[in-house]
Structures are given as structure tokens and as C-alpha cells.
Amino acid sequence: MSVSVVLPDQLRGLVPDGSNVCLPGDPGTVREALETLRRHHLEVYHRIVTEQGEVRPHVNLFVGRENIRWHEGLETRLPEGAELVVLPAVSGG
């Protein structure tokens, strides 16, 4: 099974069917998944990742329930069929 990227509401309008993105090619790490996302959905990629290739400061990526910041960062492994969940930091307003 391929890896899927679960987008928050704020980014769903940037993909054709407004839902999650299934990534081709079985990326093995978060970095590889983001690179695949860049090739297929450039604007979604740039809303998640800065020009310097870093995840934006107030954006969190989870593999399953685990925030990659507390694991291996972009080198965090993606198991087969994993969901890479994109979540903005919670704030008021």
C-alpha cells in the first residue's frame, strides 16, 4: 500500500478532489515523501516546507500518532501504508 498524506482543511483546496494525497513510489522516509509531494503537488509542498527545505515552524507532521520532531525528523521511517498527517499548530482566533 502507498503512503498517503492527510491534509488539514486549510490545504485541501489545493488538490484536485480536495481530499488526501496518495503518494506513488513507496517513499521510505518523511523526506522522500515530501520530495514526492513536491513533484506532484508543488504548491502543497511549499505551504508545508520552506524555501530552505525545512518544515514550517508552526506546522507539525505526524506519522501515525507520533510527531516527527520527537523522532528522526525528516528521516523518520514510513511503514508500508503509513499516513503522514499534516497539522497546523493549534491557536486561537
If binding is defined by CB under 8 A, does position 77 make contact with another protein? no
Residue 16's alpha-carbon distances to 52, 54, 61, 71, 79, in angstroms, are 26, 25, 22, 32, 26
Cβ pair 44, 11 in contact under 8 A: yes
Contacts of 31 (CB under 8 A, 6+ apart): 74, 75
If binding is defined by CB under 8 A, does position 10 make contact with another protein? yes
If binding is defined by CB under 8 A, does position 9 make contact with another protein? yes
Among 23, 34, 48, 84, binds another protein (CB under 8 A): 48
Q: What does the alpha-carbon distance between residue 61 and residue 53 come to, in Å, rounded to a whole number?
A: 14
CB of 49 to another protein, least distance (A): 9
If binding is defined by CB under 8 A, does position 34 make contact with another protein? no
Q: Which stretch binds another protein (CB under 8 A): 15-23, 26-34, 42-50, 61-69?
A: 42-50
Q: Which residues are at the interface with another protein (CB under 8 A)?
A: 9-11, 42-43, 46-48, 50-53, 56, 58-59, 88-89, 93
